[in-house]
Structure 1
Amino acid sequence: MNKPQRASAGDALTDLILTMFRVNNLTLAWGDRLVAPLGLTSARWQILGAVVAAERPQPVAWLARDLGANRQNVQRIVNDLTKEELVAFEPNPHHRRAQLVTLTDKGRQTYDAAIRLYTPRVEALAEGLAVKDIEAARSVMTMLRQKLEGDENTHV
């Protein structure tokens, strides 16, 4: 009797990656709708969040690295946020050209308003999901991220 053939780890990972692509697109669209009343997009909100999460002001390149994003894209968004007075540049004592990005009072108020919109919505999304399953998914995503960050082939 033939045993059913099991999918390889590569096949399972491919299915996960395809699902991640779909979930990423849906999450960005969901975030865009959520923060649109504040004049934000998911990308702008994400940058504000990175500035808030940083222990101290950072240059754009460091924000991009922390987000796993392209530096030029982050620079463009930071420039837009600067024009809207949500962030500001300040001199970097360690590097003359790489200015530090700081949150303005208006930026803090906008970010806090986004979090007030987000919190009840994310709680609603979490309904019916077990915390241990969410933590397991995060663990797999973290391991995958670490492998990709260390894989020289991802920079081809």
Structure 2
Amino acid sequence: MIDDGVPTVRDLALAVFETNGRLVDAGNELVRAAGLTTAWWQVLGALGYSSQPLPVSHIARNMGLTRQAVQRVVDLLVGHGLVTMEANPHHQRAKLIVLTLAGREALTGAEQAVVPLDAAILDRVGSDRLAVAIAVLREMNGAMTDYFASRSAATTPIQPEDFA
């Protein structure tokens, strides 16, 4: 917070970083009994809440992760029988990631494990403030997306003739 007591975007960013760390730790603790980690749960959740199977790149984009990080998790999930990789009719090399029955059961177990924490947070924060927080975070994501899209559109690639 700056000296005049007015919160800044940086204050919010730092609070999000802190909360993210606590979410990861809490997730690991709560889903351990289901045989998962927060990262595994995150990918299973992305698939479980999607109306269709997704390629790794879409999971990564939807979750704000790198494709490489998601691919590592997917490889582990395949090895544990929680997801399979199937042919993608829209792209020969980008396989679709599909939850198996075991993957759906693991996701259900994880979701049930966090119900008490969800209730405690909702009780403290309230549904109206939770809705506002969600809206603010989505607006921040949109602003960042627009900012970087406009920067990349304004930046012209360096051409060989620029060095002549």
Please confirm whether the aligned pair reaches a TM-score higher than 0.5, indicating the same fold. Answer: yes
Find the residue that maps to 1:123 and give its secondary structure: helix
Q: Paired residue for 2:74? A: 78
Give the Cα–Cα distance (whole angstroms) in 2 for the partners of residues 25 and 128 of structure 1. Answer: 19
Q: Does 1:68 align with 2:67?
A: no
Task: Pick one of 10, 13, 36 that aligns with 1:14.
Answer: 10
What TM-score results when the alignment is normalised by the length of structure 2? 0.84
- Which segment is superposed worse, 51-60 or 81-90? 51-60
Find the residue that maps to 1:92 and give its secondary structure: coil
Q: Paired residue for 1:48? A: 44
Give the Cα–Cα distance (whole angstroms) in 2 for the partners of residues 144 and 5 of structure 1. Answer: 23
Deviation at 1:119, TM superposition (A): 1.4
Find the residue that maps to 2:91 and give its secondary structure: coil
Q: Paired residue for 1:111? A: 107
Find the residue that maps to 2:124 and give its secondary structure: coil
- Which segment is superposed worse, 14-23 or 129-138? 129-138
Find the residue that maps to 2:73 and give its secondary structure: helix
Find the residue that maps to 1:101 and give its secondary structure: strand
Give the Cα–Cα distance (whole angstroms) in 1 for the partners of residues 19 and 144 of structure 2. Answer: 19
Give the Cα–Cα distance (whole angstroms) in 1 for the partners of residues 69 and 125 of structure 2. Answer: 34
Give aligned-pair identity as a percent. Answer: 33
Render the CA deviation track for 1:15-72: whole Å, top value 9, x for unaligned: 1111111111011100000001111111110000001111111111111111111001
**Moved runs in structure 1, 4+ residues, more than 6 A?**
none
Q: Paired residue for 1:142? A: 138
- Which segment is superposed worse, 37-46 or 116-125? 116-125
Find the residue that maps to 2:60 and give its secondary structure: helix
Q: Paired residue for 2:25? A: 29
Give the Cα–Cα distance (whole angstroms) in 1 for the partners of residues 73 and 145 of structure 2. Answer: 23
Q: Paired residue for 2:160? A: none
RMSD: 1.9
Deviation at 1:131, TM superposition (A): 1.5
Gaps of 5+ in 2: 153-164
Gaps of 5+ in 1: none
